[in-house]
């Protein structure tokens, strides 16, 4: 495989210091427009720097962070939380290299599954890297459990329910799909009422 001169000058590896992690998080915040209340704040990753730095990948050019991919272990899988490449560097294979690095590290840690939620624009990127789409359903409000069951029976019958959690305030489920199905997603979301249906992506490694 050949690589362009630009990509061969780019180093992709796990994060190696706290200042580097901060620089990478700044990039993610900027490129993904993460708000103040983003649920995986800088502190979330700072706490994991000693335990699992293998799951925080950076791309560097001339010592500056130009891409970052941050994951963390969640039970039996690795959740890829945030991924971004600085806009001037996109489309040169850097995102793919960061993903490959994370995958190799996750395997070395004994993990067998990667999971992520994707921004709408990046679904093509994950599908092209061997991920399969799943549907994540979230229902809140009155009778949330019963409403979730109804939608599963009505619109998603016959599909595998991979996970379900019924809490006090909401119910959630993950259902398998045969591929991206925007028509189905929109119908499910409309039927859920107070709730949402969005894609998740999974890759077994
Ligand atoms: C998505 C992103 C991380 C990909 O990184 P990248 O370095 O540009 O990706 P690569 O150069 O490795 O691209 C690899 C492939 O994905 C495709 N691709 C990249 N971004 C894509 C996108 N937004 N939609 C569809 N395909 C995309 C490329 O065309 C390329 O396809 P090919 O190998 O079949 O030719 C980067 O474009 C980015 O930061 N986007 C904005 C932020 C974002 O959407 N982050 C993801 C949040 S879930």
* pLDDT of 13: 98
CB under 6 Å to ligand 1: residues? 31-32, 83-85, 90-96, 118-119, 121-122, 124-125, 128
Q: Do domains 5-117 and 132-204 have the same CATH topology?
A: no
CA of 84, closest atom in ligand 1: 39
Element of type H or E holding 33: none
Mean pLDDT calculated for residue range 89-112: 97
Confidence of residue 2 (pLDDT cuts 50, 70, 90): very low
Query: pLDDT tens digits for 129-171?
Result: 999 999 999 999 999 999 999 999 999 999 999 999 999 999 9
Query: pLDDT tens digits for 38-66?
Result: 889 999 999 999 999 999 999 999 999 99
* pLDDT of 106: 97
CA of 128, closest atom in ligand 1: 34
**Distances from the Cα of 183 to the Cαs of 133, 134, 180, 193, in angstroms?**
14, 14, 9, 16
Measured CA to CA, the distance from residue 101 to residue 167 in angstroms comes to: 36
Mean pLDDT calculated for residue range 169-191: 95
**Of 3.40.50.20, 3.20.20.70, 3.30.70.2690, 3.40.1390.10, which CATH number belongs to 132-204?**
3.30.70.2690
DSSP at 87: G
Measured CA to CA, the distance from residue 194 to residue 200 in angstroms comes to: 19
Mutational test site, ligand 1, from 125, 126, 131, max ligand atoms within 8 Å of CB: 125
CA 85 to ligand 1 center in whole angstroms: 8
Q: Which residues does 35 contact at the CB level (< 8 Å), separation at least 6? A: none
Query: pLDDT tens digits for 116-131?
Result: 987 777 899 999 999 9
**Of 3.10.105.10, 3.30.70.20, 2.70.70.10, 3.40.630.30, which CATH number belongs to 5-117?**
3.40.630.30
Element of type H or E holding 121: none
Measured CA to CA, the distance from residue 116 to residue 71 in angstroms comes to: 9
Q: Per-domain residue ranges for the chain?
A: 5-117, 132-204
* pLDDT of 19: 98
Report the candidate in 166, 187, 7, 148 with the shortest Cα–Cα distance to residue 89: 7
| Inter-residue contact 203 to 129 (CB < 8 Å) | yes
DSSP-derived pairing of the beta strands 170-176 and 64-74: unpaired
Mutational test site, ligand 1, from 115, 122, 131, 200, max ligand atoms within 8 Å of CB: 122
pTM: 0.88
CA 140 to ligand 1 center in whole angstroms: 33
CA 126 to ligand 1 center in whole angstroms: 8
């Amino acid at each position: 495989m050949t690589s362009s001169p630009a990509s061969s000058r780019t180093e992709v590896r796990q994060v190696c210091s706290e200042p580097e992690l901060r620089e990478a998080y700044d990039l993610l915040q900027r490129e993904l427009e993460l708000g103040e209340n983003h649920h995986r704040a800088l502190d979330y990753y700072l706490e994991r720097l000693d335990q699992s730095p293998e799951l925080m990948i950076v791309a560097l050019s001339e010592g500056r962070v130009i891409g970052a991919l941050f994951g963390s272990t969640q039970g039996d899988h690795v959740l890829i939380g945030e991924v971004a490449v600085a806009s001037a560097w996109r489309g040169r294979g850097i995102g793919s290299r960061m993903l490959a690095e994370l995958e190799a590290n996750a395997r070395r840690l004994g993990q067998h599954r990667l999971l992520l939620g994707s921004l709408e624009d990046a679904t093509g990127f994950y599908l092209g890297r061997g991920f399969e789409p799943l549907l994540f359903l979230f229902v809140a409000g009155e009778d949330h459990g019963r409403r979730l069951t109804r939608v599963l029976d009505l619109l998603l019958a016959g599909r595998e329910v991979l996970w379900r959690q019924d809490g006090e305030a909401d119910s959630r489920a993950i259902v398998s799909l045969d591929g991206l199905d925007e028509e189905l997603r929109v119908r499910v979301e409309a039927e859920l009422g107070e709730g949402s249906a969005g894609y998740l992506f999974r890759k077994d490694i």
